[in-house]
Amino acid sequence: MMDRMTSPEIRTVDQFEEPAFTNLVKAILHDPDRQAVTERFFATGGTPPAKSGAHQVRVGAFEGEALIGWSHAWLMPGGILYVSNSGVLPERRGQGVYTRLIAAIEEEARALGCTRVESHHRTANSSVLIAKLKAGYTITGTEFSAEMGLLVKMCKYLEPRRGALFEARAGVVEGVVRHFCPPAGS
C-alpha cells in the first residue's frame, strides 16, 4: 500500500490508459443501483453516441503511474471548458486531490483562452459541491436528467472582471445576495 501522505503528481495527458481508466470510472461513478436502473430503462445494446470532435482535456492525479483521480473536460463554444466527469479513489478522498484537480483544470482552461469553467453535479454529491463552492464556483441552476437525476449546474469565471459582472447581474453585492438581505429599514 502506498503512503497516504504521498502527494500525487497532477498532470495533463492525451489519453488515460485503457482498460484501467474505464474500470476506474465504473468503480467510482457507476454504482450497482444506478447501473441496474439505467439498464432497465435504457437498452444496453444501442448505438454509441457519435464523437463530437470537440477538444478534450484530461487531467490525472497519479501515484507513480497509477491513476488515483481524474477530471475530463470538453472545450465548448463561447470560451467554456465543460468538465464532464471527475473522480478520486475513495481511499484518497479528503486529502486535497480533487481540489488540486480543480486548479489544474482551471489552469488548462486559461491556457486555452477560456473565460469560464462549467460543470453539472448530482445533488447528493455534497463533497464535490462543497469543494467547488470553496474553490469559488457559483451555483447557476438545476437541471433534471433522465440518466442522472437532479443536477446542480456550477460555473466559475476565470477573469476577475467577468466574475464581478456575473455576480452583479446575479444580485450578489459585496458577497451578499440582495434577494435574501433586504435593505435596512424595510
Overall number of domains in the chain: 1
pTM for this prediction: 0.81
- Cell 464532464 sits at which residue? 84
With cut-offs at 50, 70 and 90, classify the pLDDT of residue 45: low
Q: What's the confidence (pLDDT) of residue 27? A: 83
2 in a structural domain:
no
Print the domain residue range for 55.
Answer: 9-180
1 in a structural domain:
no
186 in a structural domain:
no
42 or 60, higher pLDDT: 60
The beta strand positions in the chain, using DSSP E, are 9-13, 56-63, 66-76, 80-88, 116-122, 138-145, 149-157, 172-173, 176-177
Q: Evaluate whether 21 touches 66 at the Cβ level (below 8 Å).
A: no
Measured CA distances, 54 to 2, 75, 93 (Å) = 36, 6, 30
Average pLDDT estimate for 8-24: 92
Q: What's the confidence (pLDDT) of residue 53? A: 79
DSSP 115: S
The number of beta carbons lying within 10 Å of the beta carbon of residue 71 is: 26
Average pLDDT estimate for 8-17: 94
Most confident of 2-16, 76-90, 163-177: 76-90
Alpha-carbon span 175 to 138, nearest angstrom: 12
Q: What is the pLDDT of residues 49-92, one digit of tens each?
A: 667 778 999 999 999 999 999 999 999 999 999 999 999 999 99
Q: Is the pLDDT reported for residue 29 higher than 70?
A: yes
CATH code for the domain in which residue 28 is found: 3.40.630.30
Q: What is the pLDDT of residues 109-147, one digit of tens each?
A: 999 999 999 999 999 999 999 999 999 999 999 999 887
Alpha-carbon span 102 to 81, nearest angstrom: 12
CA dihedral 84, 11, 57, 78 (to 10 degrees): 90
Alpha-carbon span 86 to 62, nearest angstrom: 14
55 in a structural domain:
yes
Q: What's the confidence (pLDDT) of residue 77? A: 94
144 in a structural domain:
yes
Q: What's the confidence (pLDDT) of residue 44? A: 59
Q: What is the pLDDT of residues 91-117, one digit of tens each?
A: 999 999 999 999 999 999 999 999 999
129 in a structural domain:
yes
Burial class of 103 by CB neighbour count within 10 A (0 to 12, 13 to 18, 19+)? middle
With cut-offs at 50, 70 and 90, classify the pLDDT of residue 183: low
Q: What's the confidence (pLDDT) of residue 52? A: 74
Q: Given CA atoms 93, 100, 29, 5 in this order, what sign does their dihedral have? A: negative
